[in-house]
Structure 1
Amino acid sequence: MISGGYHPGEKIKLRPLAEELNTSVTPVREALLQLVTAGTLEHSLQKSIRVPEANWHVYKEVRELRILIESRAAAYAAARIPESAIEQMEALTEQLDTKSPADLSLHRERLVEFHFELYRHAGKPVSLKLIESLWLQSGPYLSFLIPEYLPLSKSPSLRVKICSALRRRDGMAVAEAIETDLRNALGYLLERFT
């Protein structure tokens, strides 16, 4: 859900998902029902579970909350993140810099990994849970963002700036780069689809 593997309005099929996760249907159903309770997924009239339809008013609110919380978490992380995590983020940046990734699903996963590698080191567990919840709500919109936005994106250079600012322990620069990245990418969706 977080990495945009499902599109808004898409029905989630239990058996294929259980097979993909190498588990039975019961734990998958229970996990999906928890996501329904959290408002990330919804029951359709046919008693199936699906991703909610695109709602751009809700998306705008999620976008603003993501910008506020993620930039703040990034600033906190700058003082705490270990060198090994910065190296991991630099390696992810190299992988993400490909303008036309062959595997879009893997590209989305790496993008999520890059951001959460940073946010985990903020030392703010409540913020991290909020960020995860907001990503779950905005994840389906990533399917609109990638691959269309990639050729237009300035994100690769922003990720380089983020890593560079982390090495300098410059929390303000990290926060500004995260805010710019989110405003550009999430703003593109609003311009494109509203």
Structure 2
Amino acid sequence: MDGPGLDRLAPVGRETVQDRIYRQLRDALIRCRFEAGEIFLAGDVAQRMSVSSMPVREALARLVSERALEAMPNRRVRVPLLTLERARDIAQARSLIEGELAARAMDMLTPADIERLEALTVEYEETRESGDIASLNHAFHFHLYQAAGSSVLMPVIESLWMQAGPYVRAAAKLHRPLTDSAATLHHRGILSAIAAGDKEWAVRELKADINQAFAILERADPAVWDTDNGGAA
């Protein structure tokens, strides 16, 4: 996996500062940059991004309201700890909503869309050891979902991906197949289903792809869970 998430943040310009800070943090969460339990101090984030603390606090508060981060004492904010209950809830929500959007997209995909999905899968397979696989995985899924043209469901999916990021990161650290050729097995299945025009097959492959990371965590040592918050079964 990549190094500490804050090391990957870049300075932000003066225009629309709060939105740009929010987008960087949101995208970093979606792309699994942050560890569960990682702490944010507004001053530290502001220094890293070369901005003042106020827009950072506003961006962090926005992410807290979306449940991607959680407020702590002394004005600290952190990535939520891992709980088994929440893992199952996120996996189920992602499967339901993303499955629906994938089914809708099947009727809307153009040859150019399918070519792009194939290219992203090939790039993932060829660069899985050195490339940014989290970004490639995100690009594949979101290109598929955007074809459905739903302005209502896309923000819901983005929110779920922010919440899922620390779980996917934890699973990838526990199990190598998330970074080897098996990681694109279900992407290939989705492409085959698209070629066959089989929505049910596509949705099954999509749900299997979503659930593989959470299945790894289900089998993990109980030490990965935040048992103080009722996360362990």
Which TM-score bucket, shorter chain as reference?
0.7 to 0.9
Aligned to 1:121: 147
Query: Using the alignment, how far apart are the partners of 2:119 and 2:49 within structure 1?
Result: 26
Aligned to 1:175: 203
Aligned to 2:89: 61
- What SS is found at the alignment partner of 1:86? helix
Query: Using the alignment, how far apart are the partners of 1:87 and 1:117 within structure 2?
Result: 11
RMSD between aligned residues: 2.4
Aligned to 1:112: 138
Measured after TM superposition, the shift of residue 87 of structure 1 is 1.6
**Larger CA deviation: 8-17 vs 29-38:** 8-17
Aligned to 2:56: 28
Supply the AA of the counterpart residue of 1:54: L
Aligned to 1:149: 175
**Larger CA deviation: 93-102 vs 70-79:** 93-102
TM-score when scaled to structure 1? 0.86
Unaligned runs of 5+ in 2: 1-28, 223-233
User: In the TM superposition, what are the counterparts of 1:91-102 in structure 2 within 5 Å?
Assistant: 91-98=119-126, 100-102=128-130
Supply the AA of the counterpart residue of 1:32: L
Query: Using the alignment, how far apart are the partners of 2:64 and 2:151 within structure 1?
Result: 23
| Structure showing greater Rg | 2
Paired residues of 1:3 and 1:140 also in contact (CA < 8 A): no
Paired residues of 2:68 and 2:162 also in contact (CA < 8 A): yes
- The answer as to 2:91 corresponding to 1:72 is no
Supply the AA of the counterpart residue of 1:133: S
Unaligned runs of 5+ in 1: none
TM-score when scaled to structure 2? 0.73
Measured after TM superposition, the shift of residue 190 of structure 1 is 1.8
Measured after TM superposition, the shift of residue 173 of structure 1 is 1.9
- The answer as to 2:135 corresponding to 1:136 is no
Q: Give the count of matched residue pairs.
A: 192
The alpha-carbon distance between structure 1 residues 99 and 187, as it changes in their structure 2 partners (threshold 3 A), is farther
- The answer as to 2:186 corresponding to 1:158 is yes
Paired residues of 1:12 and 1:49 also in contact (CA < 8 A): yes
The alpha-carbon distance between structure 1 residues 14 and 110, as it changes in their structure 2 partners (threshold 3 A), is farther
- What SS is found at the alignment partner of 1:146? helix
Supply the AA of the counterpart residue of 2:36: P
The alpha-carbon distance between structure 1 residues 84 and 17, as it changes in their structure 2 partners (threshold 3 A), is farther
Measured after TM superposition, the shift of residue 3 of structure 1 is 1.3
Query: Using the alignment, how far apart are the partners of 2:104 and 2:75 within structure 1?
Result: 43
